[in-house]
A and B are shown apart, each in its own frame.
Chain A
Amino acid sequence: MDLADTPEEQEFRARLREWLAKALPTLPPKPSPEDWPGRRAYDLGWQRMLYDAGYAGLHWPVDAGGQGATPTQHLIFLEETEKAGAPYVGANFVGLLHAGPTIAAEGTAEQRARWLPPILRGAEVWCQGFSEPDAGSDLAALRTRARRDGDDYVVSGSKIWTSHAEVADWCELLVRTDPEAPKHRGITWLALPMDAPGVTVRPLKTLAGSAEFAEVFLDEVRVPVSGRVGEENDGWRVTMVTLSFERGTAFVGEVVACRRVLGELARTARENGRWDDPVLRRRLGRLNAEFRALWRLTQWNVSEAERTGGVPGVGGSVFKLRYSHARQELYDTAAEVLGPDALDLDRPWTLDRLSSLSYTIAAGTSQIQRNIVAERILGLPKGR
């Protein structure tokens, strides 16, 4: 067991730090959270800077245009960019962490050439068209229909909780192509151009007051068959190839950020006198233990992925379960430190507290994650 960087990792970290110190001051001012076109431009601009510096698609395979970095190098990248205050992956999230890796793993040569370079270069934004009003945690219950008509699929239905839909160029879309098949079969993965006729996007306001996601309505939308990744009716398997990425390293930067917030909370508490409350102090101490352990668990999972040379496994569910609750606990504690200021929406921690409520729901609820842990790791029988 070793937690120290190897000489190669040390060099990688040092080079990255040096580049970040030069690159970050050249960034334009951060747009307001409400300004979606501004956020898109900002996130794509950052992606372009990463691309020019040779950091785009760090963990992608080289033959997909990535850098073929080790999982540990990817971890160092996420750790250092967060520590330096670099932008979050933002609007590029689905492209870089989900649609891109899916196309890299399952797409044809033409598909890879068409879609991967613009993701890495920061030219195109993707969104995820998986969830539906009646198919959230039970994703395989999706009903959006696609019927074959010549060289096109004709798609009708609706999607919901689609992040970045307003500013996306493409949508990784799951549709039902065989309504007669058992529900996990008969699903197909399509790349939907968001400007196709018949696509309507209606922003949804979150309880935090911002429009983070949207409903997407699809009315007889024509998607070329050439936009299908994987075989017809094989979309479920195609999706499962990459879903584990979402639970693998997706939260690395956030754990680093949470540890920073915890330090800020302690200093704020000392300044406003709340530090004298031993109950609050001990709660902060416990959270320190919690986020230290979550960071160690991240290092463990990444080292394991490196050892097995593969995809992050179901260990991601263990991490996601614990992290999502710890994050909520962190911002509830922030409210205790802030006192009446915790009710002020202009305090960033108040918005963070509100948005933390989504963590136990998005990307598989805590209840679904527990089922995954119980059935796939512990081998308990499936319920009826």
Chain B
Amino acid sequence: MRFQLTEDQRALRDGVRQLLARRFDREALRAAVRAPGLDRALWRGLGEAGFFALRLPEKDGGVGLGLPEAVLAFEEAGRALLPGPLVATHLAAGTVPGAATGEAVVTAVDGGLVEWLAEADVVRGDAAGAVPLRSVDPLTPLHRVASVSPTEPAAVSPADPVAVLLTAAEQLGTATRACETAVQHARTREQFGQPIGAFQAVKHLCADMLVRAEVARAAVYAAAVTADPADIAAARLLADEAAVRGARDCLQVHGGMGFTWESEVQLLLKRTWVRTHRGGRVTESEETLAAELLS
């Protein structure tokens, strides 16, 4: 057993991080909020870097890597808050022409919602009669598929476990960013004559953010190695928790500033909310794990 990143995996993670730092930094994130829309040049850039073709066999023009590498790449995407139907396009590589290279934007119906419908070239699943809703996340346009009852989302399409895992990886990346953002603020923002991070109440919020993220990391990476359905369900629950609670605590640490439109904290929180609606309901993951106890 050697449950640590290999040298190659570290290099891949660092490479994706550098690429995203170049192509989608804080300024680009702000600009995207001001002018929503999918950046096709960036999408093709991701395609050229192999982001979508990562798991496609080399004989089919892909990179030929596995689920652990895809998880690392999606974690970085989640960390950068990269917008777009990344998971759907990645899953379409090799079956939808142009998906692997980033020429095509592919989205999918999931849980009664479709992300980025108007921008997509290809939609997987039945999006007939989809109506736009005013999305809570400024960087994830959403359509609602009218025929779906809110109590039976799974009837539309059973969740692809890989989609669930890659979404968990994005949540993990965002949870890490939330913790880093909160810590950065807590170290520099002064009140009562000292950095607020010296106050135990603030310190403990930050510590809990890190603990949740690290527990989620172990679960997500392990699920990437085993691809076991129960491991994936566990990864999903813990990554959702780390991301959503992490973003909320990050907002709390930022105080009034965190409640403004200008602060990036809202973007963290809203994206984590959107992702919790992917891949079936949370309760389905819980039921999967409960049933596994009896197996």
Q: B136 in the interface, Cβ–Cβ < 8 Å?
A: no
Min CB–CB distance B254 → chain A (angstroms): 15
Chain B residues lying within 8 Å of A1, measured Cβ to Cβ, are: 2-6, 9, 68, 221, 224-225
Contact B215 A373 (CB under 8 A): no
Chain B residues lying within 8 Å of A383, measured Cβ to Cβ, are: 198-200, 203
What is the 8 Å Cβ interface bit string for chain A, positions 18-40, against chain B (1 contact, 0 not)? 00000000000000000000000
Contact A300 B207 (CB under 8 A): no
Q: A114 in the interface, Cβ–Cβ < 8 Å?
A: no
Q: Which residues of B contact A (CB under 8 A)?
A: 1-6, 9, 68, 179, 183, 186-187, 194-195, 197-200, 202-204, 206-208, 210-211, 214-219, 221-222, 224-226, 230-231, 233-235, 237-238, 283, 285-294
In the complex, residue of chain A having the shortest beta-carbon distance to the beta carbon of B293: A266
Say yes or no: A284-B293 contact (C-beta < 8 A), given A5-B1, A293-B238, A371-B203: yes
Interface centre among A315, A369, A380 (most CB of B within 10 A): A380
Query: Can you spell out 13 A-B residue pairs with CB atoms less than 8 angstroms apart?
Result: A2-B1, A2-B225, A6-B1, A281-B286, A285-B237, A285-B290, A289-B219, A292-B219, A303-B4, A318-B211, A321-B207, A322-B215, A380-B198
Chain B residues lying within 8 Å of A382, measured Cβ to Cβ, are: 198
Q: Which residues of A contact B (CB under 8 A)?
A: 1-6, 9, 72, 75, 262-263, 265-267, 270, 278, 281-282, 284-286, 288-290, 292-294, 296-297, 299-300, 302-304, 306-307, 315, 318, 321-322, 367, 369-371, 373-375, 377-384
Interface centre among A3, A9, A367 (most CB of B within 10 A): A3
Contact A286 B216 (CB under 8 A): no
Min CB–CB distance A182 → chain B (angstroms): 21
Contact B203 A370 (CB under 8 A): yes
Cα–Cα, bound, A356→B225 (Å): 32
Min CB–CB distance A202 → chain B (angstroms): 34
Contact A370 B221 (CB under 8 A): no
Cα–Cα, bound, A1→B3 (Å): 5
Say yes or no: A380-B186 contact (C-beta < 8 A), given A3-B222, A285-B289, A299-B222: yes
Min CB–CB distance B130 → chain A (angstroms): 30
Cα–Cα, bound, A352→B7 (Å): 43
Chain B residues lying within 8 Å of A5, measured Cβ to Cβ, are: 1
In the complex, residue of chain B having the shortest beta-carbon distance to the beta carbon of A299: B3
Chain B residues lying within 8 Å of A307, measured Cβ to Cβ, are: 2, 4
In the complex, residue of chain B having the shortest beta-carbon distance to the beta carbon of A381: B198
Chain A residues lying within 8 Å of B204, measured Cβ to Cβ, are: 367, 370-371, 374
Say yes or no: A292-B207 contact (C-beta < 8 A), given A1-B224, A300-B221, A382-B198: no
Min CB–CB distance B233 → chain A (angstroms): 7
Say yes or no: A297-B68 contact (C-beta < 8 A), given A374-B203, A379-B187, A383-B203: no
Contact B219 A293 (CB under 8 A): yes
In the complex, residue of chain A having the shortest beta-carbon distance to the beta carbon of B288: A285
Cα–Cα, bound, A303→B222 (Å): 13
Contact B4 A318 (CB under 8 A): no
In the complex, residue of chain B having the shortest beta-carbon distance to the beta carbon of A307: B4
Chain B residues lying within 8 Å of A375, measured Cβ to Cβ, are: 203
Interface centre among A2, A288, A293, A370 (most CB of B within 10 A): A293
Min CB–CB distance A333 → chain B (angstroms): 11
Cα–Cα, bound, A321→B204 (Å): 11
Chain A residues lying within 8 Å of B226, measured Cβ to Cβ, are: 3
Cα–Cα, bound, A265→B290 (Å): 11
Contact of A373 among B5, B210, B216, B283 (CB under 8 A): B210
Min CB–CB distance B159 → chain A (angstroms): 16
Contact B1 A303 (CB under 8 A): yes
Contact B224 A289 (CB under 8 A): no
Given A3-B225, A266-B293, 10 extra CB contacts under 8 A: A1-B221, A75-B1, A262-B293, A282-B287, A285-B286, A292-B222, A293-B222, A371-B200, A381-B187, A383-B199
Chain A residues lying within 8 Å of B286, measured Cβ to Cβ, are: 281-282, 285-286, 289
Contact A380 B230 (CB under 8 A): no
Chain B residues lying within 8 Å of A321, measured Cβ to Cβ, are: 207, 211
Contact A293 B218 (CB under 8 A): yes
Min CB–CB distance B39 → chain A (angstroms): 32
Chain A residues lying within 8 Å of B285, measured Cβ to Cβ, are: 285, 289
Min CB–CB distance A370 → chain B (angstroms): 4
Min CB–CB distance B158 → chain A (angstroms): 18
Cα–Cα, bound, A5→B237 (Å): 27
Chain A residues lying within 8 Å of B4, measured Cβ to Cβ, are: 1, 300, 303-304, 307
Chain A residues lying within 8 Å of B238, measured Cβ to Cβ, are: 289-290, 293
Contact A299 B293 (CB under 8 A): no
Contact B218 A296 (CB under 8 A): yes
Interface centre among B4, B206, B288, B290 (most CB of A within 10 A): B290
Contact B183 A378 (CB under 8 A): yes
Min CB–CB distance A337 → chain B (angstroms): 12
Cα–Cα, bound, A303→B6 (Å): 12
Contact of A293 among B179, B197, B208, B234 (CB under 8 A): B234
Contact of B218 among A2, A75, A270, A300 (CB under 8 A): A300
In the complex, residue of chain B having the shortest beta-carbon distance to the beta carbon of A377: B210
